[in-house]
Chains A and B, each alone.
Chain A
Amino acid sequence: NAGVTQTPKFQVLKTGQSMTLQCAQDMNHNSMYWYRQDPGMGLRLIYYSASEGTTDKGEVPNGYNVSRLNKREFSLRLESAAPSQTSVYFCASARGGVNNEQFFGPGTRLTVL
């Protein structure tokens, strides 16, 4: 039982390049989330998927797209990376409903030059 896995762990991009961050969970959770973590700003929600087949914008969705590929997988795409997207990205999953805690992946550290 691996929990929540993310790939890659580290990535360096040049401005304007695109990439996809991958996330998978093996806990049969309904809900999945993408956050970014910047120093002194806590975690900010980018997009979330309450259940398979649905996605919704969070607090900071601009410059990102997501795909809920199936119940296990939720990917985050940067179409044209910008230096402001330099951050640590966390994927999380939860059973769904308001009273269940989230389980987090180890994070992807992204640098955009």
Chain B
Amino acid sequence: AQSVAQPEDQVNVAEGNPLTVKCTYSVSGNPYLFWYVQYPNRGLQFLLKYITGDNLVKGSYGFEAEFNKSQTSFHLKKPSALVSDSALYFCAVRDNAGKSTFGDGTTLTVKP
């Protein structure tokens, strides 16, 4: 069975500093990996995905993610954090049947 782990419940960074939100996964076959963001009282919004190709994937709002096959990781990164980036972030993996498994989420807080 596939699984996703987000080892940090909470990540705190200062505005302007780089941020990383960690994700590791387990899946049989090719990994299809996604990051979503959720703002309070809203549904999830897609940020970026890795399907194949370059290990560094660029997405919305200046976010990027690095796929590492040997470490089975897909960490979300941003070079310079904004206060408005504060939200709940979910990593997800999809299997060949199209079924997605989500991590438990990481709350990112960016302080001014």
Note all chain B residues with C-beta closer than 8 A to A97: 98
User: Across the interface, do A99 and B51 meet the contact criterion of CB distance under 8 Å?
Assistant: yes
Tally of B interface residues using CB under 8 Å: 25
Note all chain A residues with C-beta closer than 8 A to B49: 99, 101
User: Across the interface, do A42 and B97 meet the contact criterion of CB distance under 8 Å?
Assistant: no
Q: Which of B13-21, B78-86, B102-110 contacts A (4 or more CB under 8 A)?
A: B102-110
Which of B43, B95, B96, B98 has a CB less than 8 Å from the CB of A106? B43
The residue in chain A whose Cβ has the minimal distance to the Cβ of B47 is A101
Tally of A interface residues using CB under 8 Å: 29
A94 within 8 A of B: yes
Note all chain A residues with C-beta closer than 8 A to B100: 33, 45, 102
In the complex, besides A4-B43, A33-B100, A101-B49, 9 extra interface pairs with C-beta distance below 8 angstroms are A35-B102, A48-B99, A50-B98, A56-B99, A92-B44, A98-B32, A101-B46, A102-B46, A105-B43
Q: Top 8 nearest A-B pairs by Cβ distance?
A: A104-B43, A101-B46, A42-B104, A43-B102, A99-B51, A104-B44, A42-B102, A98-B32
Name 28 A/B residue pairs within 8 A (Cβ), A-sorted: A35-B102, A41-B104, A42-B102, A42-B103, A42-B104, A43-B44, A45-B100, A48-B98, A50-B97, A56-B97, A58-B99, A90-B43, A92-B43, A94-B98, A98-B32, A98-B51, A98-B96, A98-B98, A99-B49, A102-B34, A102-B36, A104-B36, A104-B43, A104-B44, A104-B45, A105-B43, A106-B43, A107-B43
Give B contacts to A, CB under 8 Å.
9, 32, 34, 36, 41-46, 49, 51, 90, 94-105
